[in-house]
Structure 1
Amino acid sequence: MPEPRHTAPHEFSIQQRVYLWLSGLFVTALLAANVIGVKLFRFDIPLGDGRTLPVEHTAGMLAFPITFLLTDLLNEYYGQRGARRAVAIAFVMGAVAFVLISIARALPILEGIPGTATGASFENIFGSAALMYLASLGAFLVGSLLDIVLFGVAKRLTGGRMVWLRATGSTVVSQLVDSFVVTILFFQVAQSLTGGESAPFSFVVRTALTGYILKFVIAVALTPVIYLGRWVMSRWFGLTPLPPAGLVGGVSPPA
């Protein structure tokens, strides 16, 4: 009787390992943004003449610098296909997390155990976050896919030069769309569909614009970090950015 054959364990290449880590961090940032997105924050920026500019947005945008950097690195080193795959994985994992949270909300609560959440407190957090979660997930998909397309177009038009232009340019445009999509979906569309009170349109526009201004400033400020990320990818991992027109000289994404 022949002995069973054992397949040698698969050894991931450095390109695949880096892709897995980048994708995992990408998923983590999305999940964190969607969970904490129910909280709104506000701070005032002094304008120097006694007036202030109020900035109001959801706490979910704290993950923006991470997703901004990761989207561009994935696009730069793994192409549009690799970047879209990471977005798809993050979106599906976000949807799975939403289903699990919904099931947890439906379970009968056991009250009175020290250190555990009461039914009311659990529902206050995850119940109120449900609509924001869905709105944020939808805006993430639209904004990320638009960012990937714009990044690729800018890379082709510049022949692979001017990294700052394609990285920052694609982000500031896609995040304008993202900011309005998530704000409109949550404060107007979702509230109308669930019988809630829709926020005034002026509030929606102000929230979207002030949040976008903050994202714009962050995107510009993080431009040097993009170059640092490229240096790390090339110096530490030996990866080469993909050329604008194909995969020659670059690294193809894992299948």
Structure 2
Amino acid sequence: MSEGADRPAQVAARDVAGGHFRYFDFVMVAFVVVLLLSNIIGASKRSVIDLPWIGPWPFGAGILFFPISYVIGDVLTEVYGYARARRVIWAGFAAMLYMVLMCIVVVALPVDAGWAGQAAYEQIFGFGSIPRIAFASIIAFWCGEFVNSFVLARMKILTRGRHLWARTIGSTIFGQAVDSLIFYPLAFLFAAGWTTHQVITVLFTQWALKVGWEVLLTPFTYAVVGFLKSREGVDVYDEGTDFTPFATRV
């Protein structure tokens, strides 16, 4: 399916439906791993940085990792098309639900005599933190990722495959806006240790930083997209694609 040694063939998504790609599974695993670790390790910690002329500015520690999932999501849609990206989003959705179930069950299990870690376990994985954060993240992730993937796929058709930077940054602006507007109020509004002002501040800070991350990682995105398109031998366009999120077929 290649056009020359290095130039991938431009194909409609329907023409590769059901096909097998060499690296798709690896990209999907990377997406799910980054998603889970971002939520279970970084999402619940509020950090602070001392900015010149501004002073202490709070931000969520998950900002260090979570935007990478959007970069991978951009790569998935750009290289493999919306339908396969949709399948990966649903895989991440199921993995996060399973993570929440594990947190609930493990915290609820009887504690062996002499083990002193239950209080810390409950603080980190109990109902006051991980489940609420994870459920908020599941909803925000599902909405934001589908917005991100849809915008990128449509922009690719409109731009005829040109200006990848505009597609990745533009889709992230919309996707991360939806994600942040849903996640932070659901996860932290009225939660212990969080004021309304802090929630709003972190919300807009995270959105700006996530978009900034996308901009900074644009050269990396170009490199990965170029590598995958060359190795897979195709450049998928979502012409005639059914953009419903409620499907897993490709």
Residue 78 (structure 1) aligns with: 80
1:49-64 equivalences in 2 (<5 Å): 51-52=53-54, 54-64=56-66
The count of corresponding residues between Structure 1 and Structure 2 is 224
* Counterpart check, 1:207 vs 2:202: yes
Q: Does the 8 Å contact 1:55/1:214 carry over to 2?
A: no
Closer, same or farther: CA 222–53 of 1 in aligned 2, 3 Å: farther
Q: Does the 8 Å contact 1:34/1:137 carry over to 2?
A: no
1:123-202 equivalences in 2 (<5 Å): 123-127=122-126, 128-188=129-189, 191=190, 199-202=194-197
Give the Cα–Cα distance (whole angstroms) in 2 for the partners of residues 44 and 141 of structure 1. Answer: 33
SS at match of 2:48: strand
Give the TM-score of the pair, scaled to structure 1.
Answer: 0.79
> How far apart are residue 138 of structure 1 and its match?
1.5
> How far apart are residue 67 of structure 1 and its match?
0.8
Question: Of 15, 36, 39, which aligns to 1:34?
Answer: 39
Q: Does the 8 Å contact 1:132/1:186 carry over to 2?
A: yes
Q: Does the 8 Å contact 2:87/2:249 carry over to 1?
A: no
Give the Cα–Cα distance (whole angstroms) in 2 for the partners of residues 176 and 141 of structure 1. Answer: 13
Q: Does the 8 Å contact 2:82/2:238 carry over to 1?
A: no
Question: For each residue in 1:123-170, what CA deviation from the matched residue of structure 2 results, as whole angstroms up to 9, or x when unmatched?
Answer: 111012221121122111111011011111211211111111111110
Give the Cα–Cα distance (whole angstroms) in 2 for the partners of residues 161 and 121 of structure 1. Answer: 51
Give the Cα–Cα distance (whole angstroms) in 1 for the partners of residues 170 and 131 of structure 2. Answer: 32
Q: Does the 8 Å contact 1:168/1:219 carry over to 2?
A: yes
Q: Is the strand fraction higher in 1 or 2?
A: 2
Residue 4 (structure 1) aligns with: none
Gapped regions of structure 1 (runs ≥ 5) = 1-12, 248-252
SS at match of 1:233: helix
Runs of 4+ more than 6 Å apart: none
| Structure number with higher relative contact order (C-alpha < 8 Å, ≥ 6 residues apart) | 2
Give the TM-score of the pair, scaled to structure 2.
Answer: 0.81
How large is the Cα RMSD of the aligned pairs?
2.4
SS at match of 1:29: helix
Q: Does the 8 Å contact 1:151/1:166 carry over to 2?
A: yes
Question: Of 212, 216, 219, which aligns to 1:221?
Answer: 216
Give the Cα–Cα distance (whole angstroms) in 2 for the partners of residues 73 and 152 of structure 1. Answer: 11
Give the Cα–Cα distance (whole angstroms) in 1 for the partners of residues 144 and 57 of structure 2. Answer: 21
Larger radius of gyration: 1
1:62-141 equivalences in 2 (<5 Å): 62-113=64-115, 118-127=117-126, 128-141=129-142
Q: Does the 8 Å contact 1:179/1:212 carry over to 2?
A: yes
Q: Does the 8 Å contact 2:103/2:130 carry over to 1?
A: no
Question: For each residue in 1:42-82, what CA deviation from the matched residue of structure 2 results, as whole angstroms up to 9, or x when unmatched?
Answer: 11332xxxx12654232222223421221011101221111
What is the percent sequence identity of the aligned residues? Answer: 30
Residue 18 (structure 1) aligns with: 23
Q: Does the 8 Å contact 1:40/1:56 carry over to 2?
A: yes
